């Protein structure tokens, strides 16, 4: 991914590689980025960074991050990327587990590292001035010594980076990705046809920004807090989209919903956008409908399914998603589309235990619910120093492995994959399991309901299902909403047993995506309000 960006340094040096938006806009061409990479290589090598050295890289999205990432790859070092939206304690655990030898960051992060005890064994420390080009004066006092002549470049089996992302359940895990994994990801992303050389593309995910640069696009970085991108000002996003004539956008569903609501309120159409890619969580039907109303008729909205361990797996365009709206509203789950070329997907019997060896009888028949498992060139190495998590997530199959996504789903008769929810978040009642994405969309159209979350109260196998509701702004009639929810629930066999509806002022969510509800926290909150033995 990162290496392919260097092709565009030579092919289009005058094309803008990165456009930072907001109140302090700044543009960097591919030629300027190339010179920044050359200088960063000299600085980092002079500071003592060597091949194979695990290097923490905590720099805000922008040309600095891109230049440093490419420079570290040239040096055959291993960047360690940690989601800045993680809690401080989680960041500390990630950096300690990664056993960092070097740390490259802005001044505020270095200060936090010293005060909070992050990465105590770091031997090389490099400070990057915030929001400044990596020019000849950056940083001072470091000898400029680059690669030695004849030093080999990184190969496909070399470790490219280690990524720590927030996930949706459990503590963050280190995902090691080799260059061949990233190359396979680019091949699949390229097949989606969403990015072209020179095309202005807005990305709210740093990994997608690097991916867009690998295709020679102009990456537009909006002015937002990288720890909480969903809180970005939608008016500022609209201004940047129009100012830079953004043709493609990558964002999580919650941010797209925020943007779409703003556009609906102000009767705006984002007529430059031809492709919108949603990732990080399934795209809810109401969000899709609002978003399509803000785009031109021929625009594509793609919902992409995958995980850091294997990305992407499947994709579906909004028009096909809309064809399944009635099925989703009735409890069928969310259609993810067919698996992408070269990606094998199976649905296997639900189990919370490790599965050591693959066998054909693990797979369930089409239509049956089970756990989604993937075998593809994109599947990462085992988790970093976490054999227990690896054993739960991987199944050996000769010279390849299957990655257990931790998601519940099924295949339909046309070979399309459907998402039913996270395995760890299923509600295990005496009458059988309830899956979040087969329950929550049933109530999406109830007036006053902005979001609904299914949680279980009580012991597994005898849990009481509880629907927790986040109100639409301005909705106050809880009794009316509760009556409407229970009326809708009674119309569907799998929700007819629902008796408890609680109202929450604001769901606890993943800070980065905001679409990933922390249902374990909601379940603890609900348990204090509902007695599981109550009839």
Rounded to 5 degrees, φ, ψ at 96 are -70, -45
Neighbours of 150 (CB within 10 A): 5
* Dihedral pair phi/psi, residue 481, rounded to 5°: -65, -45
Counted residue by residue, the chain has a size of: 535
Residues in the chain with pLDDT values less than 70: 1-3, 130-151, 166-170, 511-515, 531-535
pLDDT at 223: 84
14 Cβ neighbours under 8 A, 6+ residues apart: 29, 30, 31
**Spatial separation of the C-alpha atoms in residues 155 and 180, rounded to whole Å:** 8
Report pTM: 0.92
Concatenated DSSP letters of 385-402: T-HHHHHHHEEEETTEEE
Residue 43 near residue 142, CB atoms below 8 Å: yes
Crossing angle of the two packed helices 206-214 and 2-11, in degrees rounded to 10: 40
Helix, strand, or coil (residue 319): helix
Domains of the chain: 30-140+153-178 (3.40.50.980), 340-425 (2.30.38.10), 427-527 (3.30.300.30)
In degrees rounded to 5, what are phi and psi of residue 255?
-70, -40
Question: How wide is the angle at C-alpha 2 spanned by C-alphas 220 and 299, nearest 5°?
Answer: 40
Beta strands in 285-416 (DSSP E): 300-307, 310-317, 334-337, 344-348, 370-375, 394-397, 400-411
Parallel/antiparallel/unpaired status of strands 54-58 and 102-105: parallel
Contact 396, 356 (CB under 8 A): yes
- Other beta carbons within 10 angstroms of residue 311's beta carbon come to 25
**Cβ of 18: how many Cβ atoms within 10 Å?**
26
- Of 213, 66, 46, the closest CA to residue 143 belongs to 46
Give the contacts of 233 (CB within 8 A, at least 6 positions apart).
Answer: 224
d(CA 342, CA 400): 14
Find how far residue 164's CA is from the centre of its chain.
11
Which letter does DSSP use for residue 338 in this model?
Answer: S
Tokens of 37: 């990479």
pLDDT given at position 133: 43
pLDDT of residue 207: 77
What pLDDT shows up at residue 224? 85
Give the Cβ contact number of residue 437 at 10 Å: 24
pLDDT at 163: 94
* CA atoms of 280 and 443, how far apart (whole Å): 22
Note whether 166 and 86 are within 8 A (CB).
yes
pLDDT at 167: 58
The pLDDT of residue 132 is 47
Write the CB contacts of 286 (distance below 8 Å, at least 6 apart in sequence): 444, 445
The 8-class DSSP code of residue 131 comes to T
């Amino acid at each position: 991914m990162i290496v392919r960006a260097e092709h565009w340094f030579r092919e289009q040096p005058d094309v803008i590689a990165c456009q930072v938006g907001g109140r302090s806009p700044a543009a960097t061409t591919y030629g300027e980025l190339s010179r920044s990479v050359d200088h960063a290589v000299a600085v980092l090598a002079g500071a003592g960074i060597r091949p194979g050295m695990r290097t923490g890289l905590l720099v805000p999205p922008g040309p600095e991050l891109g230049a440093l990432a490419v420079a570290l790859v040239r040096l055959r070092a291993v960047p360690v990327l940690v989601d800045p939206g993680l809690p401080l304690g989680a960041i500390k655990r990630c950096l300690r587990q990664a056993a960092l030898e070097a740390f490259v960051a802005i001044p505020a992060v270095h200060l936090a590292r010293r005060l909070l005890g992050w990465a105590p064994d770091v031997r090389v420390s490099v400070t990057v001035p915030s929001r400044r080009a990596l020019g000849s004066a950056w940083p001072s006092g470091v000898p400029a010594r680059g690669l030695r002549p004849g030093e080999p470049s990184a190969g496909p089996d070399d470790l490219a980076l280690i990524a720590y992302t927030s996930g949706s359940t459990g503590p963050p895990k280190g995902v090691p990705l080799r260059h061949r994994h990233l190359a396979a990801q680019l091949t699949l992303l390229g097949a989606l046809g969403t990015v072209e050389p020179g095309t202005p593309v807005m990305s709210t995910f740093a990994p997608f920004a690097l991916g867009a640069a690998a295709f020679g696009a102009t990456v537009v970085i909006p002015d937002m807090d990288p720890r909480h991108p969903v809180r970005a000002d939608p008016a500022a996003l609209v201004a940047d989209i129009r100012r830079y004539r953004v043709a493609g956008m990558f964002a999580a569903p919650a941010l797209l919903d925020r943007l779409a609501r703003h556009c609906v309120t102000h009767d705006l159409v984002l007529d430059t956008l031809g492709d919108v890619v949603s990732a990080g969580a399934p795209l809810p039907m109401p969000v899709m409908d609002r978003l399509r109303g803000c785009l031109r008729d021929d625009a594509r909205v793609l919902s992409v399914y995958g995980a850091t361990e294997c990305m992407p797996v499947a994709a579906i365009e909004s028009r096909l998603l809309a064809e399944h709206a009635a099925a989703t509203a009735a409890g069928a789950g969310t259609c993810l589309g067919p698996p992408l070329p070269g990606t094998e997907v199976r649905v296997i019997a639900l189990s919370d235990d490790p599965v050591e060896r693959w066998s054909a009888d693990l797979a369930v028949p089409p239509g049956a619910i089970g756990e989604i498992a993937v075998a593809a060139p994109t599947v990462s190495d085992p988790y970093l120093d976490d054999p227990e998590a690896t054993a739960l997530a991987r199944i050996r199959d000769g010279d390849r492995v299957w990655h257990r996504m931790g998601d519940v789903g099924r295949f339909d008769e046309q070979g399309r994959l459907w998402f039913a929810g996270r395995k760890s978040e299923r509600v295990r009642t005496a009458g059988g399991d309830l899956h979040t994405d087969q329950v929550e969309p049933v109530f999406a159209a109830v007036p006053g309901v902005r979001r609904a979350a299914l949680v279980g109260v009580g012991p597994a196998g005898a849990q009481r299902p509880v629907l927790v509701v986040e109100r639409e702004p301005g909705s106050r009639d809880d009794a009316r909403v509760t009556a409407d929810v229970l009326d809708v629930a009674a119309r569907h066999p799998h929700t007819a047993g629902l008796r408890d509806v609680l109202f929450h002022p604001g769901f606890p969510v993943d800070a980065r995506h905001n679409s990933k509800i922390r249902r374990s926290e909601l379940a603890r909150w609900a348990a204090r309000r509902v007695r599981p033995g109550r009839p």
